[in-house]
Chain A
Amino acid sequence: MLLNPANYWRKNKNWNNFVGKLGEVVFVTRVEVTSPELQSFLPYCFAIVEMDGERYEFMGEKGIELKKGDKVEFVFRKVSDSNNSSLINYGIKLVLKK
């Protein structure tokens, strides 16, 4: 099983703490080699972001380039590939605030 249902269920409690909120990029790197279940998102940015004085770490939406200081919005996206039978892994990613 690609994604454990109990782990998914514990994680989804957190989603609405982020959806629609804004943050700022503290440091970011562009990932070009990654785990098997994230292959289709390559290359993606991975950043430390700050929101309300707290820091978090998230992937950027596929294809976007982020840099230090960018204002970002937390959005709801698929966070890994899935196959035809597994649960779909949703979570939080970053997009540039427009």
Chain B
Amino acid sequence: MKERNLVMLGTKKGVFVFESLDGRRTWKSSGPHFKGTSIYHVTLDPRSRKMLATVDNFIKGPTIATSRDFGRTWKEGKRPPRFPKSSDWSVKQVWHIEPGVEEEPEVLYCGVDPAALFRSEDGGESWALNAGLYNQETRKKWNPGAGGLCLHSILVDPRDPKTMHVAISAVGILKTRDGGESWSFKNGNLRADFSPNKYPEYGQCPHHLVRHPSRPDVIYQQNHCGEYRSDDNGETWEEMVGNLPSRFGFPIAVDYNDPKRVYVAPEESGEARVPPDGRFLVWASDDEGRRWSALGSGLPKRSFYNVYREGMDTDEEDPSGVYVGTGTGQLYFSKAGAKWTLIADGLPPIFSVSAASA
């Protein structure tokens, strides 16, 4: 057991940090930091132990901020992610921030709307546009989904930082093997039920990607049109909808100790976007998505919670903690999904949940 367990929430009205020093029995919270500002994502960089936050203030524009004291104080970078003047794009929102690999301690990545990837080599002080993705030959044909043209998932291969995946809503998944010089679509076998061509080269709508930390070739995906697993580092995808009540949902998380155990929170459909049968449930599979079971102990019998794409995470303890933040401001915790306890209620809509041990 680590000395300190942290749960960081990005919410519609700022960052909240929950901290446990007694093995996840009790929690103390701080926040909101950046009061009144939308925080789509906040996480802990395990290399530097700095917190990283995407800060989307509708007046001042988007930026990145870091904290060296577990969220007590924050510092904005000097040069936030911005397109070059030669571009006709302007950064609307910063969606996701991702630490690089251990060997590149100052490298960070972030994904923005409109869909672009930025890289920082100085711990978030300044950012440079990834030209390879920006110049991808199909870019001008990309169309936004309901939430914009957002690049929301970034996976860096811990064995080779030149290999990365990004996921873009209503565009799909792209992979690079040359450090971002060139990108190719990896959408084979992914459905696009909303399109005339059900299996196009691109135009699918991934909602969230996660890589298992101890088996990096294993990547799970919640898509607009189903749940998927890749066993070959995101080259090919296998559907794992199984007995789930719906193909549709946003978050997906993997158990830290068991790469075969995965969690999702299905919604009824892309049209309704409510929990099936009016009861919010997390579903888990112990066999890589072949069979699923509902985890409802401790959750209300009737509830219309929704969970945003970054709203579920697991920690590094054994059993691995599962944390779920809802769009109506509840934060739930369970040990491997056994029984949910409410850590906090009455929070602003929770956009992201990140768990870490320090």
- A and B associate in one complex: no
Residues of B within 8 A of A (CB): none
Residues of A within 8 A of B (CB): none
